[in-house]
């Protein structure tokens, strides 16, 4: 496989990953003798996503990789020739074959910066034809990356600093690269880890995972493992039959919990034993395949206590249905009582991992003071950004040949501010809190007055004050 030689190749956009009109406009510029006119575009968004008051700028690394590799191959040019008029001057295609981004300059907000409406995330200058062609791929690379990073940051703000957040939305993403992008940039936005192995391999994102219901249901209890023995953690002494040891503990656990010893599902217990044999130092139990209280929890305790006797400590349990907070509180109580009963203090602090369509509202509840939840797995809500699944980024021409350009239109919101921008951030009096970030055209009178931070107060004109007020009314970072 060709792609295997370059693990990052498939994550890189290609020049033809663009809208056809970029190519038709390229021909228009070329025919008008303007392909090499000096032009500047700005990439920005008009409103903060999710009704919030900030965004994180992200995707710059992917943009740089794309720009460095930007070359139209013969097959690309041939395809364009097949969709452009048959009598197009062949010299145009020669021009395309020679294109690269060596004359393109990009100024950008650093990866992960706070960004506000109207502030350019990217300022792209260079020959008109090529910087026009870059519009769609740059928007594609920046918009979703920034959106999902912002979404992750909002979830992190809601969760607070203590809860561990695991992104697990690969299966809900827009195909392979949507998933990779989501995992990469939710980590940038404040998640601790991802379930996505490829994001670990290619992007260095810490990976984490538990087990699925299929693992549990695949066992009936009648399976005979080829090697049922587990050696003690310290490595000395004879191994023991873990399933038999767990069976002994099950009787004590059921007596302690007031359950009949036949109630916990034998297949689930066999699955837990199998997982523990593979991961004696990282044993986790998924509790809700049959019944948390009558099966999952006693089976987990039996296997965890059997492991404990061998010197291993179980690391976690996972819940994937029902009232997650309430169950976590009750499970922690059971852990504490069992820790006391069986004199295994480490059992008190076994991690409780929860998942199941957790959105901002559910997260706030799970992160409330006193919650016994330790790790929160979020898939759909972080990856698909259901509150607003696109950033609405735009890429607008602001100058050609040094002359400002603007779009007027009859829709005031879609008008653009002409000229290259300079962005300023207004800080509160203690300088610890950004009140607003705003972007002023280098052509505007305000811009000419804003040369030093000391001049901020002077220019807090009515327009700026209104902007600050509107931003402060929202959720400020």
Residues in region 57-86 near a copy of itself by CB under 8 A: 62, 69, 73, 75-76, 79-80, 83, 85
Within 417-476, the residues that bind a copy of itself by CB under 8 A are none
Least spacing, CB of residue 138 vs a copy of itself, in Å: 9
Q: Does 102 bind a copy of itself (CB under 8 A)?
A: no
Q: Give the residue, chosen from 53, 67, 153, 277, that forms a contact with a copy of itself under the rule CB under 8 A.
A: 277
- The Cα 360–Cα 477 span in angstroms is 16
- The Cα 362–Cα 351 span in angstroms is 19
Task: Scan for tokens 């998942």, then name that residue.
Answer: 355
Q: Does 241 bind a copy of itself (CB under 8 A)?
A: no
Q: Give the residue, chosen from 160, 392, 402, 474, that forms a contact with a copy of itself under the rule CB under 8 A.
A: 392
* DSSP bridge pairs for 438: 424
Least spacing, CB of residue 403 vs a copy of itself, in Å: 7
- The Cα 236–Cα 379 span in angstroms is 42
- The Cα 409–Cα 403 span in angstroms is 19
Within 29-48, the residues that bind a copy of itself by CB under 8 A are 29-34, 37, 39, 41
Q: Give the residue, chosen from 64, 261, 279, 442, that forms a contact with a copy of itself under the rule CB under 8 A.
A: 279
Q: Does 201 bind a copy of itself (CB under 8 A)?
A: yes
Q: Give the residue, chosen from 207, 337, 434, 443, that forms a contact with a copy of itself under the rule CB under 8 A.
A: 207
Task: Scan for tokens 């587990």, then name that residue.
Answer: 230
Asked if 454 contacts 461 with a C-beta cutoff of 8 angstroms, the reply is no
Within 296-335, the residues that bind a copy of itself by CB under 8 A are 320-322
Q: Give the residue, chosen from 64, 259, 337, 400, that forms a contact with a copy of itself under the rule CB under 8 A.
A: 400
Q: Does 226 bind a copy of itself (CB under 8 A)?
A: yes
Least spacing, CB of residue 236 vs a copy of itself, in Å: 15
Which CB atom, from 52 or from 137, has the smaller least distance to a copy of itself?
137
Q: Does 262 bind a copy of itself (CB under 8 A)?
A: no
Selected range binding a copy of itself among 113-121, 360-368, 391-399, 444-452, rule: CB under 8 A: 391-399
345 secondary structure, DSSP code: G
Q: Give the residue, chosen from 157, 208, 351, 459, that forms a contact with a copy of itself under the rule CB under 8 A.
A: 208
Asked if 383 contacts 186 with a C-beta cutoff of 8 angstroms, the reply is yes
Q: Give the residue, chosen from 106, 159, 292, 307, that forms a contact with a copy of itself under the rule CB under 8 A.
A: 292
Asked if 94 contacts 8 with a C-beta cutoff of 8 angstroms, the reply is no
312 secondary structure, DSSP code: -
The gap from C-alpha 52 to its chain's centroid, in whole angstroms, comes to 17
Which CB atom, from 355 or from 437, has the smaller least distance to a copy of itself?
355
Within 153-192, the residues that bind a copy of itself by CB under 8 A are 168, 170-182
- The Cα 382–Cα 148 span in angstroms is 7
Least spacing, CB of residue 33 vs a copy of itself, in Å: 4
What radius of gyration, in Å, describes the C-alpha atoms of the chain? 29
Within 110-149, the residues that bind a copy of itself by CB under 8 A are 128, 132, 135-137, 139-141, 143-145, 148
Least spacing, CB of residue 182 vs a copy of itself, in Å: 7
Secondary structure (3-state) at 171 = helix
CB atoms within 10 A of CB 298: 28
Least spacing, CB of residue 13 vs a copy of itself, in Å: 4
Q: DSSP string of 41-100?
A: EEEEESS-GGG-S-EE---HHHHHHHHHH----HHHHHHHHHHS-TT--HHHHHHHHT--
Within 401-420, the residues that bind a copy of itself by CB under 8 A are 403, 405-411, 414
> What token pair was written down for 18?
């663009």
- The Cα 18–Cα 274 span in angstroms is 49
């Amino acid at each position: 496989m060709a792609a295997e030689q370059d693990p990052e190749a498939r994550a890189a956009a290609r020049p033809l990953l663009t809208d056809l009109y970029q190519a038709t406009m390229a021909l228009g510029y070329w025919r008008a003798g303007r392909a090499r006119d000096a032009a500047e575009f700005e990439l920005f968004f008009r409103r903060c996503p999710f009704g919030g008051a900030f965004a994180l700028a992200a995707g710059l690394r992917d943009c740089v990789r794309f720009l460095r590799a930007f070359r139209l191959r013969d097959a690309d040019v041939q395809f364009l020739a097949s969709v452009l008029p048959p009598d197009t001057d062949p010299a145009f295609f020669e021009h395309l074959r020679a294109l690269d981004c060596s004359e393109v300059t990009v100024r950008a907000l650093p990866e992960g910066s706070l960004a506000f409406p109207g502030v350019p995330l990217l300022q792209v200058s260079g020959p008109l034809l090529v910087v026009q062609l870059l519009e769609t791929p740059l928007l594609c690379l920046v918009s979703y990356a920034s959106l999902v990073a912002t979404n992750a940051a909002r979830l992190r703000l809601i969760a607070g600093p203590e809860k561990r957040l695991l992104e697990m939305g690969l299966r809900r993403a827009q195909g392979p690269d949507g998933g990779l992008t989501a995992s990469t940039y939710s980590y940038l936005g404040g998640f601790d880890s991802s379930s996505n192995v490829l994001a670990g391999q290619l992007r260095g994102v810490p990976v984490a995972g538990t087990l699925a219901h299929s693992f549990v249901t695949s066992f009936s209890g009648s399976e005979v493992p080829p090697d049922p023995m587990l050696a003690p953690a310290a490595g000395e002494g004879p191994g023991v039959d873990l399933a038999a040891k767990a069976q002994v503990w099950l009787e004590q656990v059921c007596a302690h919990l007031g359950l009949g010893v036949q109630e916990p599902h034998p297949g689930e217990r066999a699955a837990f034993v199998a997982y523990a044999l593979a991961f004696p130092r990282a044993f986790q139990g998924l509790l809700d395949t049959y019944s948390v209280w009558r099966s999952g929890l006693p089976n987990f305790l039996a296997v965890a206590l059997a492991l404990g006797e061998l010197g291993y400590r179980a690391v976690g349990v996972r819940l994937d249905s029902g009232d997650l907070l309430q169950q976590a509180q009750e499970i922690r109580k059971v852990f504490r009582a069992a820790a006391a009963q069986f004199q295994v203090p480490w059992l008190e602090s076994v991690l409780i991992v929860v998942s199941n369509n957790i959105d901002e509202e559910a997260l706030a509840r799970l992160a409330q003071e006193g919650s016994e939840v330790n790790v929160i797995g979020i898939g759909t809500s972080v990856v698909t950004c259901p509150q607003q699944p696109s950033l609405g980024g735009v890429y607008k021409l602001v100058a050609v040949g040094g002359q400002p350009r603007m779009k007027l239109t009859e829709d005031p919101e879609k008008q653009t501010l002409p000229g290259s921008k300079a962005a300023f951030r207004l800080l509160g009096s203690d300088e610890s809190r950004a009140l607003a970030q705003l972007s002023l055209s280098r052509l505007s009178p305000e811009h000419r007055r804003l040369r030093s931070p000391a001049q901020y107060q002077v220019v807090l004109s009515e327009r700026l004050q209104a902007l600050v007020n509107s931003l402060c009314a929202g959720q400020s970072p």
